[in-house]
Each structure stands twice: as structure tokens, then as C-alpha cells.
Structure 1
Amino acid sequence: MTRILLAEDDASMRTYLARALERVGYAVDPVASGIDALPLLERESYDLLLTDIVMPGMDGIELAQRAASLAPGMRVMFITGFAAVALKTGASHPHARVLSKPFHLRDLVLEVDRLFGVDSIAREP
């Protein structure tokens, strides 16, 4: 089963995203911050880091940089409501995907499915 580490500081958004991804078959470990994500990255194996960019303490960009040294093969997808941040992220992490808020859950599932080559036509988040 594909494992996703979800770092999102907004509790309702974190719950919403985790449920949508779990509903279509992904295993999701949701955390409230980059700082909370680090211990999981050190002891667990994940296929995808799905992280908000703007978070207190440790932002998603720094988290992705730390994650790259802990798990070099892990994929990264950023979610953000700030277009300028998304552009900067693309330059600093050229292989990462960026999904801009607001987005429909179907869009999130489609992007994650694309990363893993899953046919998502019949899936409904």
C-alpha cells in the first residue's frame, strides 16, 4: 500500500485531505507541522510527502529539504494558497509537484494517482 505523510497545519484541511486519500486506498499519516513530521520520517518509510508550504515552525520547503536527506527516493507534493510561493518552490524543488489552493479533492487524488501510475477514472474521493 502506498504510504503518504501529510503535513498540514490547518486541522480541518488535514482531516479532509487524509480522509479523501484514505477513501481511495492510500495509507495516510497526518501531522500538524514539519516539526511533527521529522520523527516519522526518521523511523518510517513513505512513498510521498504531501505538505503545505506555509506552516509555523518549519515550513514545507524546509521539511522537503530535510526529507530529501532522510529518504532520497520519496516523492514530494506541495500544497499552497500562495501563488508566489508556488513559483519559488518550483525553482527550488524542480521534481516536486505543486497543487495550488483552492482545489477539488478529485484534483488532489488525480495528482497523487499520476505520481504512482494509478488509473483513477473510476475512483471517487
Structure 2
Amino acid sequence: MIRILLAEDDQVMREYLARALERSGYSVVAVDRGTAAIPLLERERFDLLLTDIVMPEMDGIELAQKAGEMCADLRVMFITGFAAVTLKAGKAMPQARVLSKPFHLRDLVMEVDRLFETDQAGLN
């Protein structure tokens, strides 16, 4: 099963995203800030880091960069409601996907599905 580490400081959004991804067959571990994600990345294996960019203590870009140093094959998807931050994320981590708020849950699930399409095809 594909494991997702979700870092989102807004509790309602975090629960909403986690529930949608779990209903689509993904295993989700959710945290409320980037600094809470680091110990999990040290102990557990994840396939995707799904992170908000603007968060207290450690922003999503810094989290993604640290996570990339720890887990070279970890995929990254940013979610943000700020257009200027989207550009910053694209420059800092060009291989990462960026999903701009507001988005429909269906769009999120489709983007995550696309990230893992080739992996799933190889399993069948």
C-alpha cells in the first residue's frame, strides 16, 4: 500500500485531505507541522510527502528539502493557496508537483494517482 505523509497546519483541511486519500486506498499519516514530520521520516518509509507550503516553524519547502536528503526516492507534492509561493516551490524543487488551493478532492486524488500510475502498472 502506498504511504503518504501529510503535513498541513489547518486541522479541518488536514482531516478532509486524509479522509479523501484513505477512501481512495492510500495509507495516510497526518501531522500539523513540518517539524512533526521529520521524526516520522527518520523512523518510517513513505512514498509521498504531501505538504502545505505555508506552515509555522518549518515551511513545506524546507520540509521537502530535508525529506529529500533523508529519503532520495520520496515523491513530493505541495499544496498552497498562494500564487507567489507556488513559483518559489517550483524553483526550489522542480521535480515536485504543486496543487493550488482551492481544489476539489477529486483533483487531489487524481494527481496522487498519476504520481504512482507507472508503479502500479508494473505491479499488475
TM-score normalised by length of structure 1: 0.93
Structure 1 counterpart of 2:57, which letter?
Answer: G
What is the alpha-carbon root mean square deviation over aligned residues? 0.8
Structure 2: tracts of 5 or more residues without a match: 119-124
**Whole-angstrom CA distance in 2 between matches of 1:39 and 1:109:** 26
What CA deviation, in whole Å up to 9, does each residue of 1:85-120 have, x standing for no partner? 0011101101000000000000000000000007xx
1:48 pairs with 2:72: no
Which residue matches 2:92? Answer: 92
Structure 1: tracts of 5 or more residues without a match: 119-125
Residue 50 of structure 2 aligns to a residue whose secondary structure is strand
Structure 2 counterpart of 1:78, which letter?
Answer: F
Q: How many residues align?
A: 118
**Cα offset for 1:21?**
0.1
Pairing of 1:35-114 with structure 2 (within 5 A) = 35-114=35-114
**Cα offset for 1:77?**
0.1
What CA deviation, in whole Å up to 9, does each residue of 1:14-43 have, x standing for no partner? 000000000010000000000000000000
Residue 117 of structure 1 aligns to a residue whose secondary structure is helix
**Whole-angstrom CA distance in 1 between matches of 2:86 and 2:36:** 23
Structure 2 counterpart of 1:44, which letter?
Answer: E
1:31 pairs with 2:31: yes
Residue 40 of structure 1 aligns to a residue whose secondary structure is helix
Which residue matches 1:16? Answer: 16
Which residue matches 1:123? Answer: none
Structure 2 counterpart of 1:24, which letter?
Answer: S
